[in-house]
Structure 1
């Protein structure tokens, strides 16, 4: 899970890649004596670019949307830089809050290309600017962390078109749904759910709940009682 690459790339306008941030997910574990995460920014372009980095808390709602308040839990060095053509720079993100708690904490590292012409070129053939924004995941995890997923409720929508279920992670670290398996059990019969769009690849943070929905498999009578069986092979 430590090196799992999950990319949130927002491209405002682009005809070429300007910079990259790696990795897109990093875990600072309790055994990490320096409590420091190392990220690398790469400038793939032929011109110098200005980059700004900041940390945010990561609070997730049950629908998967996030609230990202400011945090002073980290020191980023450097938090602003001008990166030359085809150059790279290691970014150090240090945890400042001492011992790691029993429950994993989740954060976002945001790297943005600033809309500044650091080349100061005159008579440019175009005024098009490329702005990139990367949002990486950073976790501060306890020793011997473990996720624990369970379905806590399920119901059919009023129009009978979908089944909505709540999935809870009562464990102390996050869990990404890389290989989810979903089944509906009714009157002794088991029905496999094949279409897991909107479920596969989603993240359940520690001590949080998420809800998902799916189209009932053929053969299910959603007006009769049923059970949901969910397994994630990580």
Structure 2
């Protein structure tokens, strides 16, 4: 499979088209290998759109990189032009490994691309002849990313709280380092996470981290086989030192 590193631009304007569904799961084999998406132009201008897929990789600190996927999917059509209010169906078919050992994560990128428009320049004098040029409207481009998961049978996430530890940042402030690991074969979203911390020096000193303290954790995605580290300020209610942690997550 040929892969090229990509930097996907963020949305530059209000949505000019809709993609339904916004996320999808495909089977690696059988009748579930194909999914149909509907792309609708909700703007007042003609839009040109191209569709392609990228493979997702997320490092331990949550930084995501994407690589263009050329051989694992068939997309038809890969480019479309939509008039205002017009919609078009797009078929996405998995043609990659029919037996992946775990869930595979991708993005389907639906990207608005500029449309060259011929323009005619007005002559400054009667003797001058009109000349043609090309004007490209790039003032309002929009990109949509939809999560695509290739899901073999019997996959399951298995999230564990691998460790909690203390560290000081560059300013000397105390911080709590929380390390999760997904040992399973499917991704896990961190929703309604509850972490209880108990001081190893005093078993009577325990706290449950608040939603505000865990704001950077809530909703984050840990892909199959991945680790994810979160660093938050050390809780003022707990003495600095070694702690024991238990976790509950809404699955």
Q: Do they fold alike, i.e. is TM over 0.5?
A: yes
Aligned to 1:139: 149
Shift of 1:170: 0.4
**CA distance in structure 2 between the partners assigned to 1:136 and 1:170 by the alignment:** 25
Query: Is the Cα–Cα contact under 8 Å of residues 29 and 98 in structure 2 kept in the other structure?
Result: no
Alignment of 1:1-234 (within 5 A): 10-12=10-12, 14=13, 17-29=15-27, 33-71=31-69, 72-117=71-116, 129-158=139-168, 159-186=172-199, 187-188=202-203, 189-194=205-210, 195=212, 196-222=214-240, 224-234=241-251
Query: Is the Cα–Cα contact under 8 Å of residues 30 and 143 in structure 1 kept in the other structure?
Result: no
Q: Deviations over 1:71-106 (max 9, x none)?
A: 220011111010121122222110002523230011
Number of residue pairs the alignment of both structures matches: 221
Report the TM-score when normalising by structure 1. 0.85
SS at match of 1:55: strand
Structure 1, gaps ≥5 residues long: 1-7
SS at match of 1:70: strand
Change (3 A) 1:121 1:202: farther
After superposition, the CA RMSD in angstroms is 2.4
Q: Deviations over 1:175-209 (max 9, x none)?
A: 11122112212233431111221110100000000
Report the TM-score when normalising by structure 2. 0.79
Query: Is the Cα–Cα contact under 8 Å of residues 9 and 134 in structure 1 kept in the other structure?
Result: no
Change (3 A) 1:48 1:122: farther
Change (3 A) 1:122 1:46: farther
**CA distance in structure 1 between the partners assigned to 2:30 and 2:190 by the alignment:** 26
**CA distance in structure 2 between the partners assigned to 1:163 and 1:122 by the alignment:** 63
Shift of 1:22: 2.6
Aligned to 1:4: none
Shift of 1:216: 2.9
Query: Is the Cα–Cα contact under 8 Å of residues 41 and 84 in structure 2 kept in the other structure?
Result: yes
**CA distance in structure 2 between the partners assigned to 1:230 and 1:176 by the alignment:** 14
SS at match of 1:199: coil
Deviates more, 1:197-206 or 1:40-49: 40-49
Change (3 A) 1:193 1:205: same
